[in-house]
């Protein structure tokens, strides 16, 4: 990598990601003491692996990675089909259990769907940027997106499926899609949401929405987790109850405390100051992602950065929102903080791609 490229790299993205990981590891250390720190130790290993991977991804030109994305897209479609035949875990067929590591193909699929979408949109717009507004071209984009999303919904994993949709929406916006499509889509969402709730959503999904609206209606059942989460965050106060001292965390009332509700552990044991700092770090991270998208050297880089921005933004808002009782529970992990090898490696691959894109940047190319 040339000196100019090293100078261009948005190093603050990597620094923020590492700081968030360290906060997550501290929370995991406290939350896993009764299990001999098993998940904490594994997360430390995946953190080390992720740092190596982010270096590799940063050094390989993103255009080269994009060129092979159709192959990986096909591979992960096959994996998303195959995972449907695995043994359900907590009611979802989302993981391949290979001993030490539970591999979640939907997490890695996010990367290659974004890359393949960027590749396809870039090809569509070659020679004529208005091609993206042709219905036939949009159908191609929707088909590329629709296949993995339907397979992920089948698992079922509505949270991850929603992340794909948000990422694609930002990519289409960055590509210069006509505002009429945005307006029509928003109108359809408003009209179809009640229909989907009544006729399409399965009972367990409806229950999550109902519990989100009225958690006190089943305090010992479906509403238990969110009630305990809010109690944990409220008990933390300004400075927290101290590591290894949180009542909800250490007495087993908070579940699952290492993945979905890790932010509640931070709120209870580290307090509002650290929890607020985490939110500020995420806002900074997302702002820098947008900046990388805006200053990328070409449309391809802008599209990839926009898709990654959508993934990070959705995961942050949804996870923190559901932990605080502001959004329905979907099981979406908190980037860089929640326990999980698949999630952590995926997030650092995204950081590597952003560093890669920022190293090549020259001028603003965002389409007005």
Q: Give 203-228 pLDDT, tens digit per residue.
A: 777 777 888 888 887 788 878 889 99
Q: How high is the pLDDT of residue 365?
A: 44
Helix axes 262-295, 11-31, angle to 10 degrees: 170
Please give the pLDDT value at position 274: 97
State residue 201's pLDDT score.
75
pLDDT of 1 reads 62
pTM reported for the whole predicted model: 0.93
Segments of the chain with pLDDT less than 50 = 363-368
Q: Which residues contact 176 (CB under 8 A, 6 or more apart)?
A: 129, 130, 132, 367, 368
CA nearest 157: which of 313, 333, 306, 320?
333
The pLDDT score that the predictor gives to residue 102 is 81
Please report the pLDDT score of residue 362 as a whole number: 66
| pLDDT score, position 191 | 86
Q: Is 230 exposed, middle or buried (0-12, 13-18, 19+ CB in 10 A)?
A: middle
């Amino acid at each position: 990598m040339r000196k100019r490229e090293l100078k261009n790299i948005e190093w603050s993205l990597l620094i923020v990601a590492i700081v968030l990981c360290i906060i997550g590891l501290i929370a995991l250390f406290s939350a896993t003491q009764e299990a001999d720190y098993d998940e904490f130790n594994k997360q430390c290993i995946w953190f080390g692996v992720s740092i190596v991977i982010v270096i590799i991804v940063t050094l390989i030109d993103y255009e080269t990675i994009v060129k092979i994305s159709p192959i990986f897209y096909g591979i992960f479609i096959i994996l998303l089909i195959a995972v449907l035949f695995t043994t359900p875990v907590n009611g979802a067929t989302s993981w391949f259990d290979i001993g030490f590591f539970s591999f979640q193909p939907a997490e890695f699929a996010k990367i290659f769907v974004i890359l393949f979408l960027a590749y396809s949109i870039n090809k569509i717009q070659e020679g004529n940027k208005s091609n993206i507004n042709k219905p036939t071209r949009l159908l191609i984009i929707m088909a590329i997106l629709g296949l993995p999303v339907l397979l992920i919904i089948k698992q079922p994993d509505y949270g991850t499926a929603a992340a794909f949709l948000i990422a694609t929406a930002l990519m289409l916006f960055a590509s210069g899609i006509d505002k009429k499509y945005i307006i029509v889509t928003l109108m359809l969402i408003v009209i179809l949401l009640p229909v989907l709730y009544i006729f399409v959503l399965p009972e367990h999904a409806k229950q999550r929405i109902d519990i989100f609206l009225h958690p006190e209606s089943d305090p010992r059942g479906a509403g238990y987790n969110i009630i305990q989460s809010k109690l944990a965050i409220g008990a933390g106060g300004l400075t927290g109850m101290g590591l290894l001292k949180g009542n909800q965390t250490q007495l087993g009332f908070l579940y699952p405390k290492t993945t979905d509700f890790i932010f509640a552990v931070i709120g209870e044991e580290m307090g509002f100051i650290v929890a607020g700092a985490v939110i500020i770090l995420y806002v900074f991270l997302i702002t820098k992602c947008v900046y990388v998208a805006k200053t990328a050297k070409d449309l391809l880089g802008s599209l990839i950065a926009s898709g990654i921005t959508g993934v990070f933004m959705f995961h942050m808002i949804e996870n923190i929102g559901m932990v605080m009782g502001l959004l329905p529970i979907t099981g979406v992990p908190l980037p860089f903080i929640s326990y999980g090898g698949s999630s952590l490696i995926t997030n650092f691959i995204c950081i590597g791609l952003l560093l890669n894109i920022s190293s090549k940047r020259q001028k603003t190319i965002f389409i007005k």
